[in-house]
Amino acid sequence: MPLGSHTMEFPRRIRIGDGILRELGDFIEFPAGKRSAVIASGANVQEKVRGVVTKSIDVPLEWVEVDSSDLRNVERVIKASSKAYCIVGIGGGKSVDVGKLAAYRINLPFFSVPTSASHDGISSPFASISGTGTHYSERAKPPVGILADIDVIAAAPKRLEAAGCGDLVSKLTAVKDWELASREAGEYFGGYAANLALMSAQVFLDGSKQIGAYDKVSARALVEGLISAGVAAGIAGSSRPCSGSEHLFSHALDAICPGKGLHGEQCGIGTIMMAALHGLDWENVRRALRDVNAPTSGAELGISDDEIRRALLEAPSIRPERYTILSKVRLDKKSAGELARKTGVI
Tell me the pLDDT tens digit for each residue of 190-231.
999 999 999 999 999 999 999 999 999 999 999 999 999 999
Q: Does position 96 have pLDDT exceeding 70, yes or no?
A: yes
How far is it, in rounded angstroms, from Cα 251 to Cα 132?
14
Domains of the chain, start order: 13-152 (3.40.50.1970), 158-342 (1.20.1090.10)
- Read off the pLDDT of each residue in 48-73 and give the average, rounded to a whole number: 94
State how far the Cα of 226 lies from the Cα of 224, in Å rounded to an integer: 5
What's the confidence (pLDDT) of residue 1? Answer: 44
pLDDT band at 326 (very low <50, low <70, confident <90, very high): very high
Distance CA 280, CA 299 (A): 24
C-alpha to C-alpha distance for 210 and 152, rounded to whole angstroms: 19
User: Does the pLDDT value for residue 252 go beyond 90?
Assistant: yes
pLDDT at 2 over 60: no
Partners of 89 in the beta sheet? 40, 112
Contact 285, 172 (CB under 8 A): yes
Determine how β-strand 138-139 pairs with β-strand 126-127: antiparallel
* Banded model confidence at residue 129, pLDDT cuts 50, 70, 90: confident
State the average pLDDT over residues 142-154. Answer: 96
Tens-place pLDDT, residues 233-251: 999 999 999 999 999 999 9
Gap between the Cα atoms of 293 and 163, Å rounded: 10
Q: Residue 332: helix, strand or coil by DSSP?
A: coil
pTM of the entire structure? 0.93
Question: Regarding predicted confidence, which is higher, 136 or 57?
Answer: 57
Helix (H, G, I), strand (E, B) or coil at 113: strand
SS3 readout for 8-39: CCCCCEEEEECCHHHHHHHHHCCCCCCCCEEE
Residue 278 has a pLDDT of 98
